Amino acid sequence: MSSPTSPLEYISPWVVSQRWFASKGRVPRLESIGSWEIPSDGPRIVTHLIMDFSARVPVLYQVPVTERAEPLDGAENALIAEVATENGTTYLYDGPHDPAYATALLRMISASTEATAHGATAHGQVFGAIEFSEILSSSVLRGEQSNTSIIYSVVTDSGIDSVICKVFRALHHGENPDVVLQAALAASGSPNVPQSIGAVVGEWNDIGRANGRALGHLAFAQEFLAGSEDAWRFALRSAEEMDDFTERAYSLGTVTAEVHTLLAGSLGTTVPSRDEIDSTLASWRSRLLLAIDEVPAIDEFRDTIEALYASTASLDWPPLQRIHGDYHLGQVLLASDGHWVLLDFEGEPMRPMEERSRFDFALRDVAGMLRSFDYVAGSLGSTEDAQSWTRASRNAFLSGYIERSGNDLRTHRELLDAFEMDKALYEAVYEARNRPDWLPIPLAALGRLARRQR
Ligand SMILES: Nc1ncnc2c1ncn2[C@@H]1O[C@H](COP(=O)(O)OP(=O)(O)O)[C@@H](O)[C@H]1O
Ligand SMILES: O=P(O)(O)O[C@H]1O[C@H](CO)[C@@H](O[C@H]2O[C@H](CO)[C@@H](O)[C@H](O)[C@H]2O)[C@H](O)[C@H]1O
pLDDT (tens digit, 0 to 9) for every residue of the chain, 454 residues total? 666 667 889 999 999 999 899 876 778 899 999 999 999 999 999 999 999 999 888 899 999 999 999 999 999 999 999 999 888 999 999 999 999 999 999 999 999 999 999 999 999 999 977 889 999 999 999 886 789 999 999 999 989 899 999 999 999 999 999 999 999 999 899 999 999 999 999 999 998 888 999 999 999 999 999 999 999 999 999 999 999 999 999 999 999 999 999 999 999 999 999 999 999 999 999 999 999 999 999 999 999 999 999 999 999 999 999 999 999 999 999 999 999 999 999 888 777 788 889 999 999 999 999 999 999 999 999 999 999 999 999 999 999 999 999 999 988 899 999 999 999 999 999 999 989 999 999 999 999 999 988 7
What is the predicted pLDDT for the residue at 5? 67
Please say whether the beta carbons of 376 and 235 come within 8 A: yes
Give distance in angstroms: CA of 330 to centre of ligand 1: 9
Cα(342)–Cα(186) distance, rounded to whole angstroms? 11
Same domain, 312 and 168: no
Closest-lying ligand 2 atom to the alpha carbon of residue 346: 3
Give distance in angstroms: CA of 343 to centre of ligand 1: 6
Alpha carbon of 105 to those of 19, 47, 48, 64, 152: distances in Å? 22, 11, 14, 10, 11
Same domain, 217 and 325: no
Decide: 372 in ligand 2 pocket, CB within 6 A: yes
Q: Is the ipTM of this complex over 0.90?
A: yes
What phi-psi label fits residue 423: left (phi over 0), alpha (psi between -120 and 50 degrees) or beta? alpha
Mutation test of ligand 1: which of 153, 332, 343, 348 has the most ligand atoms closer than 8 Å to its C-beta? 343
Domains held by the chain: number? 2
Domain boundary among 179, 198, 223: 223
What residues have CB less than 8 Å from 373, skipping those under 6 apart? 235, 249, 329, 390, 393, 394, 397
What is the predicted pLDDT for the residue at 208? 83
In a domain, 2, yes or no: no
Cα(423)–Cα(284) distance, rounded to whole angstroms? 9
What is the predicted pLDDT for the residue at 1? 61
Residue nearest to atom 8 of ligand 2 (CA): 330
Tell me 299's DSSP state: G
In a domain, 129, yes or no: yes
Same domain, 238 and 213: no
Which of these, 258, 418, 400, 275, lies nearest to 341 by C-alpha position? 258
Same domain, 345 and 315: yes
Closest-lying ligand 1 atom to the alpha carbon of residue 228: 4
What is the predicted pLDDT for the residue at 211? 92
What is the predicted pLDDT for the residue at 144? 63
Please say whether the beta carbons of 328 and 366 come within 8 A: no
Same domain, 55 and 204: yes
Residue nearest to atom 1 of ligand 1 (CA): 224
Domain boundary among 195, 223, 251: 223
Residue nearest to atom 6 of ligand 1 (CA): 224
Cα(335)–Cα(382) distance, rounded to whole angstroms? 28
In a domain, 320, yes or no: yes
Cα(269)–Cα(255) distance, rounded to whole angstroms? 19
**CATH number of the domain residue 263 falls in:** 3.90.1200.10
pLDDT digits (tens, 9 = 90+) for 370-402: 999 999 999 999 999 999 999 999 999 999 999
In a domain, 337, yes or no: yes
Residue nearest to atom 10 of ligand 2 (CA): 330
Same domain, 91 and 54: yes
Residue type present at position 42: G
Same domain, 77 and 216: yes
Which ligand has an atom closest to residue 379 CA?
2
Residue nearest to atom 4 of ligand 1 (CA): 225
Give distance in angstroms: CA of 99 to centre of ligand 1: 20
Question: ∠ CA(107), CA(176), CA(123), 5° rounding?
Answer: 30
Mutation test of ligand 2: which of 168, 328, 333, 372 has the most ligand atoms closer than 8 Å to its C-beta? 328
pLDDT digits (tens, 9 = 90+) for 122-162: 999 999 778 899 999 999 998 867 899 999 999 999 898 99
Q: pTM of the predicted model, to two decimals?
A: 0.90
In a domain, 238, yes or no: yes
Backbone angles phi, psi at 126, to 5 degrees: -95, 135
Same domain, 246 and 170: no
Domain boundary among 199, 223, 247: 223
In a domain, 31, yes or no: yes
**Domain ranges, residue 48:** 7-223
What is the predicted pLDDT for the residue at 2? 65
Please say whether the beta carbons of 245 and 235 come within 8 A: yes
Same domain, 147 and 168: yes
Same domain, 153 and 203: yes
Same domain, 165 and 250: no
In a domain, 330, yes or no: yes
Give distance in angstroms: CA of 330 to centre of ligand 2: 7
* Residues flanking ligand 1, CB < 6 Å: 141, 145-147, 149, 164, 194, 222-225, 228, 230, 330, 333, 343-344, 346
What is the predicted pLDDT for the residue at 62? 97
Same domain, 206 and 274: no
In a domain, 410, yes or no: yes
Alpha carbon of 156 to those of 112, 159, 339: distances in Å? 18, 5, 23
